[in-house]
Amino acid sequence: MKRYPQATGSNIPTDPDLDQHFLTNPTKLQLLIESTAIRPTDDVVEAGAGIGTVAEHVPTRRSLTTIEYDGNLTPYLRQRVPHALVLQGDALALYAVTCYSAICHPV
In a domain, 106, yes or no: no
Domain span at 87: 38-99
In a domain, 65, yes or no: yes
Report which of residues 105 and 84 the model is more confident about.
Answer: 84
Instruction: Give me the pLDDT at residue 99, please.
Output: 55
In a domain, 63, yes or no: yes
Looking up residue 72, the CATH number of its domain turns out to be: 3.40.50.150
In a domain, 93, yes or no: yes
pTM: 0.78
In a domain, 27, yes or no: no
Confidence of residue 3 (pLDDT cuts 50, 70, 90): very low
Q: Residue 26: phi, psi to the nearest 5?
A: -65, -30
Is the per-residue pLDDT at 35 higher than 80? yes
22-28-34-40 Cα dihedral, nearest 10 degrees: 10
Is the per-residue pLDDT at 87 higher than 90? yes
Per the structure, how many domains does the chain have?
1
In a domain, 48, yes or no: yes
The stretches of 4-107 forming alpha helices (DSSP H) are: 26-35, 74-80, 91-97, 101-104
For residues 57 and 38, give the distance between their C-alpha atoms in angstroms, rounded to a whole number.
11
Instruction: Give me the pLDDT at residue 10, please.
Output: 57
